[in-house]
Chains A and B, each alone.
Chain A
Amino acid sequence: MAEFETVPIEPMRLSNSYQNWYRFSRNPTAVIGAVIVIISILAAILAPYITPYPEHVGAVVNFRARHLPPSGEYWFGTDNVGRDIFTRVIFGARISLLLALVVLGTAVPVGTVLGLLAGYFGGWTETIIMRLTDIALAIPPLVMALAVAAVLSPDLINSMLAIAALWWTWHTRLIYSITRQLRGQEFVEAAETLGASKFHILFREILPNCVSAIAVKTSLDCGFVILVGASLSFLGLGIQPPTPDLGTMVSQGSAFLPDFWWESILPGFAILFIALGFNLLGDGLRDLFDVQEVR
């Protein structure tokens, strides 16, 4: 199956950090992305304090206020049982970000280590690891999550596990192709000649050269994991109600289209907004670090 060629990356040094910051701040895409990401993360953390009706997260019913259009009182309107949609969107963003954190928190380290091992040692290690990634790539993450949900119960944890179980492959392929190019370079050979341990070579010599590529890929992936998670909850396989979840809100609100459009359209734009932030950030970082297309 296809291989990715990645151009060796300039190592990121501390002395460059001011220069990097300058270049970053001159890159509108990256700055807009970073601002969106920071706003989303802050809103998710501070959700109980900044939302107007934090009690609407639970199974609150207020029939007198159902299906109200957006107004000064209810910024995003209310849903079919009279809950404030703005509040629920902010709390829903929490779930989306948590999903990305857990999935990538497991997939990135695992993928990176496997990529380093396969790229550096070659031989059987390489064959086994890279063939495993080929197999894992043949299963769409969403389909895998569906299969797992069918066997176990449909909930957020199982979906996250299923996505994480496939997501490492992308990182393995990326790190593998970088490591393979670095393996023969002088600084690695020098370390080998000096008798450095394999651990030192992998994690102290090679890994630092992968950092910028990992940052770009992880940022882009955050957006994509959030999209897959939203699709799962749209299908009813996410976190179970009444806990707010953006995908679930879109799917439940879609029953009231087109009259009460805000109930599904506004949560939908919230997903788009968060995913857009991570994507712009990743794109900007790519320009900054001069990493070639990673996906």
Chain B
Amino acid sequence: MEFLLFLGRRVLWSILVLVGLSIVIFAIARGMPGDPARLALGPRATQEQVADLNSKLGLDRPLYEQYGLFVAGLARGDLGRSLLTERPVNDDIRDTFAATFELVLATITIAFVIGVPLGVAAARWKDRWPDNAVRLVAIISAVTPSFFLALLLQILAGYVLHILPTTGRLPPNMAFSPDITGLITMDSILHWRWDVFGEALRYLLLPSIALAAATMGQIARITRASMIDVASQDYIEAARAFGVPERLRVFKYMLRPAFVPPLTISGLEFASLIGNAFVVELVFAWPGMAAYGVRTILQKDLNAVMGVVIVSGVFFVIVNLLIDLLVGFVDPRVRIRGRR
């Protein structure tokens, strides 16, 4: 029951954030100087054409009415038409989102699978060489621009060692359409195509490492700090006094509470992860939503850009909602107090 209450409060809160987000995005799209219809039609359009498009898009109505139309469009899932591809923005985003989602999933997996053990090791051997090494790795990975890391990986693995492909999602001669989930790795398993799965993983590896580095560094840092914090708690001292073996202490009694801060941080870190996806997808020619966003921005394709911004924001809010629920699951105190 109390978990349901927690869930309800959290969902309600996410909806409020989304409403705020829609206002901000509407303000950027409409409140900025410059005439969207003029932008869309280009400098050679006549005054009548501009006025015509303005009334067609509803831009001649009062702002609150326009906002209403905008939200109604969003609620129907209608993001307007892209000027670049001349297709509905929804279709473009639906086609590209899966690639981005696959990349982000792989990235988060890498960041946690490597970051958490590094943090635990650093805390276990605090102020000794493993700690210093992890600290160095964490700082370097946090300050390397992801586009730069992407280029370095591309040169190293692609041109020098020739071990991994550097652009795209699959080899050009491999015909496979991910028609179930849109994720090639997932669908190839469902279709029992292990050759495709292997190739997809190889193509996924470099972009996701480039994207994961910064988050992994943060996670390692936070895990270290929170493991050290938990280690000084009375109940851990007590467990030590009772002679509970170290392995049991670390993995059973310390890891679970210490896991909460990195989990929360990863939710906030997710914003910069989405941001970095824009450059990483560009470098690796990954056919995702972010690459689509970059192309449309350079073409001043307002509907498409706003669509990408909205979907990124919604994605962020949903991920944070899921993370908070996960935190509530890991740490029962959160469910009762509601907030940390």
Which A residues contact B (CB, under 8 angstroms)? 1-3, 5, 131-132, 134-144, 146-152, 154, 223-224, 227-228, 230-231, 234-237, 247, 250-251, 254, 257-258, 261, 264-265, 268, 271-272, 275-276, 279-280, 283, 292-293, 295
Contact = CB atoms under 8 A, between A and B. Distances in A.
A114 to B, nearest CB: 16
B28 A151 contact: yes
Interface of B: 13, 16-18, 20-21, 24-25, 28-29, 32-34, 39, 139-140, 142-148, 151-152, 154-155, 159-160, 218, 221-222, 225, 261, 264-265, 267-268, 271-272, 274-276, 278-279, 282-283, 293-294, 296-298, 300-302, 305-306, 308-309, 312-313, 316-317, 320, 324, 339-340
Given A140-B312, A279-B139, A150 B20 contact: no
A250 B154 CA distance: 14
Nearest to A147: B309
Contacts of B293: 143, 146
Nearest to A162: B28
A231 to B, nearest CB: 5
A47 B74 CA distance: 50
Pick the 3 closest A-B CB pairs, nearest first: A142-B275, A135-B20, A140-B275
Contact of A272 (B17, B145, B225, B264): B145
A250 B151 contact: yes
Contact of A235 (B278, B300, B302, B309): B278
B139 A131 contact: no
**Consensus secondary structure, chain B interface:** helix
B313 A146 contact: no
A142 B140 contact: no
B294 A235 contact: yes
B151 A268 contact: yes
Contacts of A234: 145, 147, 279
A151 B278 contact: no
B225 A292 contact: yes
A131 B309 contact: no
A48 B40 CA distance: 42
Contacts of B306: 147
Contacts of A227: 143, 145
Contacts of B305: 146-147, 150
A139 B225 contact: no
Given A2-B268, A231-B276, A257-B159, A147 B25 contact: yes
